[in-house]
Amino acid sequence: MAVAALKALLPPERLRRLTPLGGFEARVYTDGERVYKVYRKEEAHLAGLEARRMARAGFGSLVLAVIQGAEGGVLVTRRFPGRPFAPEAFTSKTLAALSHLFLALHRLPEPGKVTQEELLSRLERFAESLHDQPEALSLVQALKREVGLAAGVERRFCHRDAWAGNLLLKAPEAEGPEVFLVDWARAGGDDPARDLALLKTGSLDLLGEEAARAALFRMARLYPKEVRERLAFYVPLTYLHDLHWFRTKEPQGFPQALEEKLPKALAFFRDFFPRRGAW
């Protein structure tokens, strides 16, 4: 279906030059200069939605075209000259650029507030899927008692999917920004603390726990104290979300995820909730 959509868009000589870049909800290809993200026909509208969210984030100049047709939707963008996040490419310049990027996003207001109902509903889902894991259930219950810390927060524009595959680091010889986020389909209004927590669990953790915490806290110091305090809620919550995802979507990977992520979730909650006032 992806190839059929591109055949209607590209001349044969360019079609032959395409290289697949992978993708989950959509298939992604490049001809070296442009990136073609192809959505299935039932999700064709997401091409335009992602383009609008890129524009909201300040990256509208990278969007070259949005095509919606019988075979699906295609988002065409300029290719960022970089590779997915990797520890060996992480530098102080990377961290500074990440801070600038996330702060710029989180200054953008979005309607509404984070509600207690949605947070409790999320925790209930995690409790159901992790029902046979006593330590995970204990953490769920502890977060339920602290849900008031995060409820009522005004939403800001967030990427909400900053895992390593979506976080590109510029090639050393390339020009332009040091970092770039791709895949804006999930972007929208949320708590900036959750966005930072997703960055830690999805990308920064590849640095190792000590370095990941140091990078997260260095970014967080640029935020108001109340945002920093909510990390003690959202980092453990995000690990639970990861475990829920593996249990329900990729159960073969659940045992390893449980071994790696649950101790980090428990340790972060233990280390930072008691010290909430010391940030």
204-216 confidence digits (pLDDT tens): 999 999 999 999 9
Please give the mean pLDDT across all residues of the chain.
Answer: 93
pLDDT of 72 reads 81
Angle, CA 43 vertex, CA 63 and CA 16 arms, to 5°: 60
Closest CA to 185 of 57, 35, 84: 57
- pLDDT tens-digit series, residues 96-123: 999 999 999 999 999 999 999 999 999 9
Residue 71 pLDDT greater than 90, yes or no: no
Tokens (6 digits) for 241: 């979300």
Average pLDDT score over residue span 25-48: 90
Taking residues 167-177, report their average pLDDT: 93
* Tens digit of each residue's pLDDT (9 = 90 or more) over 120-154: 999 999 999 999 999 999 999 999 999 999 999 99
The pLDDT assigned to 249 comes to: 95
H or E, element range at 75:
strand 72-78
Tell me which architecture the domain covering 2-79 has in CATH: 2-Layer Sandwich (3.30)
What does the alpha-carbon distance between residue 268 and residue 245 come to, in Å, rounded to a whole number? 20
DSSP-based three-state secondary structure for 104:
helix
The H or E element containing residue 247 is helix 225-249
- Split at pLDDT 50, 70, 90, the class of 5 is low
Tokens linked to 170: 């510029």
233/108 Cα distance (integer angstroms) = 22
In CATH terms, the fold of domain 83-278 is Aminoglycoside 3'-phosphotransferase; Chain: A, domain 2 (3.90.1200)
Closest CA to 244 of 201, 212, 214: 201
Tell me the residue ranges of DSSP E strands in the chain.
19-22, 27-30, 34-39, 63-69, 72-78, 82-84, 109-113, 154-158, 167-170, 179-181, 188-190
Contact 14, 28 (CB under 8 A): no
Is the CB of residue 113 less than 8 Å from the CB of residue 153?
yes
Which pLDDT score is estimated for 3? 64
Query: Looking at the predicted structure, is the pLDDT value of residue 275 above 80?
Result: no
Confidence label for 160 from pLDDT (cuts 50, 70 and 90): very high
Q: Which two tokens stand for residue 79?
A: 């290719």
Where does the chain hold its CATH 3.90.1200.10 domain(s)?
Answer: 83-278
Retrieve residue 46's tokens. 């997401």
Would you state the pLDDT for residue 279?
Answer: 45
Percentage of the chain surpassing pLDDT 70? 96
Tokens of 277: 């006032």
| Residue 68 predicted with pLDDT over 70 | yes
At 223 the pLDDT is 97
- Residue 118, φ and ψ in degrees, nearest 5: -70, -35
State the span(s) of the chain assigned CATH 3.30.200.20.
2-79
Statement: residue 12 has pLDDT above 90: no
With helix as H, strand as E and coil as C, how does 122-168 read?
A: HHHHHHHHCCCCHHHHHHHHHHHHCHHHCCCCEEEEECCCCCHHHEE
